C-alpha cells in the first residue's frame, strides 16, 4: 500500500534511564574508598579472631584471687551464742566445695541458700561478692530464749519454738535460760524447724517476753524465776495462746501465770499487768519464797492475788488467804 504523502514512520523509543539518587552515589563513592575498605576488613578480621583469642586467654577460675572458701566469707557480727566455725559448718552442710570460683554466676545464690538452711540463720539479707575473692553475707541470727527439759537432756529453742543445735551449748549455759518443764512431746522437726507442740510454742513466747532486758537485767532474773511449766495433755491442734502456764521460783513456789502473752481472751490480764503484780507481791513480802513455803501464787484474778501453801505430801491441806 502506498504511503500517503506527507506521513513519516515513528521510531520505537527506549525507556529513559533513571539516574541513581545523588545521596546513594555519594555513599557508594565513600564506602569504596581504600581507607573504608581497609577498616571494614579489619573489623571482619577482629570478629573472626575473637573466639581464637578467648580460647587462648588464661584460666582464671583456678587463680587464688578468684577462689572462695569459708575463710574468704565474712558474716554479720555474730552474738556470743553463735559457734565460731559457723561458716565452715554452712559449707559442709550445704555440700559447697572448699574452693568455689568467684566467677561462677550462681555463687551468690548458692551461698545464700546454704546459709538459709543452717539452723542458726533466721534470714539471709544479702550476699555481695568483691575482688580479690571475698564474699560478704548479711544475716539475721536466731536467738535462744529457753531450754526444753527432755528425758535425755535440754533442747534449746528460739522465740518461735524453733529447735537449735544443743551441741553449741555447754552444761553451764542451761542455767542462763528459762527451762520449760513437763513437755510430753519430742521434736517433730529437725534442727532449724519448729518443735511442733503448741505448748512449747506458747512457752517459748512467754520466755522471750520475760527475758527482755530492763536496765541490763531481764524480768526473769530480777524475779528469780527458774522454769516455765506447761499444761498436761496438750493436743497438737490446740491454740498455743489459749493454754495456761505456770512459773516456778528458785525456792520452789509456783506462780499461776495464765495464758500466753499473745492471748486475746476476754478478761485476761496483760503481760504488763501481770509483771506489775509480781513486782508488787515481791516488794510487799520480800520475795515469793520464805521459810513457811513453798507457795502457790495465783496472779490471774482481777480482784487480787491468791496465795496458798503447796501440798508437800499427799493429803496435806492447803491454807489459803486473800492478798
Does the model's pTM come out above 0.85?
A: no
Residue extents of the structural domains in the chain = 64-141, 144-322
pLDDT digits (tens, 9 = 90+) for 100-117: 999 899 999 999 999 999
159 contacts 94 by C-beta, under 8 angstroms: no
Q: Band the pLDDT of 319: cuts 50, 70, 90.
A: very low
The CATH code belonging to domain 64-141 is 3.10.20.310
Which has the closest alpha carbon to 118: 99, 135, 142, 137? 142
**pLDDT of res. 322:** 43
Listing DSSP states for 133-166 in one string gives: TEEEEEEEE--EEEEEEETTEEEEEETT-BB--G
- State the greatest distance between any 2 C-alpha atoms of the chain, in Å, as a whole number: 159
287 contacts 252 by C-beta, under 8 angstroms: no
What is the rounded CA–CA span in Å between residue 239 and residue 254?
23
Least confident of 20-29, 124-133, 273-282, 286-295: 20-29
- The whole-number average pLDDT for the span 155-165 is 97
**231, three cell numbers:** 499444761
Least confident of 156-165, 170-179, 202-211: 170-179
What is the rounded CA–CA span in Å between residue 230 and residue 270?
19
161 contacts 180 by C-beta, under 8 angstroms: no
- The whole-number average pLDDT for the span 2-19 is 51
Amino acid at each position: 500500500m502506498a504511503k500517503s504523502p506527507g506521513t513519516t514512520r515513528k521510531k520505537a523509543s527506549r525507556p529513559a534511564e533513571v539516574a541513581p539518587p545523588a545521596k546513594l552515589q555519594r555513599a557508594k563513592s565513600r564506602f569504596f574508598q581504600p581507607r573504608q575498605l581497609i577498616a571494614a576488613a579489619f573489623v571482619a578480621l577482629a570478629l573472626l579472631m575473637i573466639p581464637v583469642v578467648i580460647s587462648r586467654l588464661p584460666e582464671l577460675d583456678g587463680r587464688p584471687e578468684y577462689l572462695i572458701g569459708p575463710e574468704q566469707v565474712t558474716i554479720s557480727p555474730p552474738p556470743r551464742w553463735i559457734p565460731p566455725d559457723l561458716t565452715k559448718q554452712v559449707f559442709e552442710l550445704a555440700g559447697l566445695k572448699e574452693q568455689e570460683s568467684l566467677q561462677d554466676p550462681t555463687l551468690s545464690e548458692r551461698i545464700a541458700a546454704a546459709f538459709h538452711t543452717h539452723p542458726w540463720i533466721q534470714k539471709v539479707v544479702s550476699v555481695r561478692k568483691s575482688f580479690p575473692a571475698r564474699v560478704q553475707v548479711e544475716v539475721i541470727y536466731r536467738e535462744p530464749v529457753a531450754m526444753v527439759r527432755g528425758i535425755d537432756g535440754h533442747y534449746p529453742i528460739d522465740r518461735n519454738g524453733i529447735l537449735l543445735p544443743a551441741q553449741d551449748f555447754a552444761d553451764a549455759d542451761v542455767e542462763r535460760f528459762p527451762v520449760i518443764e513437763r513437755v510430753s512431746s519430742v521434736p517433730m522437726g529437725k534442727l532449724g524447724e519448729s518443735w511442733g507442740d503448741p505448748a512449747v510454742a506458747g512457752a517459748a513466747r512467754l520466755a522471750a517476753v520475760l527475758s527482755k532486758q530492763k536496765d541490763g537485767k531481764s524480768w526473769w532474773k530480777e524475779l528469780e524465776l527458774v522454769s516455765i511449766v506447761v499444761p498436761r495433755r496438750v493436743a497438737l491442734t490446740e491454740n498455743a495462746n489459749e493454754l495456761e502456764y505456770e512459773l516456778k521460783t528458785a525456792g520452789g513456789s509456783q506462780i499461776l501465770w495464765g495464758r500466753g502473752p499473745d492471748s486475746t481472751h476476754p478478761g485476761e490480764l496483760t503481760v504488763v499487768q501481770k509483771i506489775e503484780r509480781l513486782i508488787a507481791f515481791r516488794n510487799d513480802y520480800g520475795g515469793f519464797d520464805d521459810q513457811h513455803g513453798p507457795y502457790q501464787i495465783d496472779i490471774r484474778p482481777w480482784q487480787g492475788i491468791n496465795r496458798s501453801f503447796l501440798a508437800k505430801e499427799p493429803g496435806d491441806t492447803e491454807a489459803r488467804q486473800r492478798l
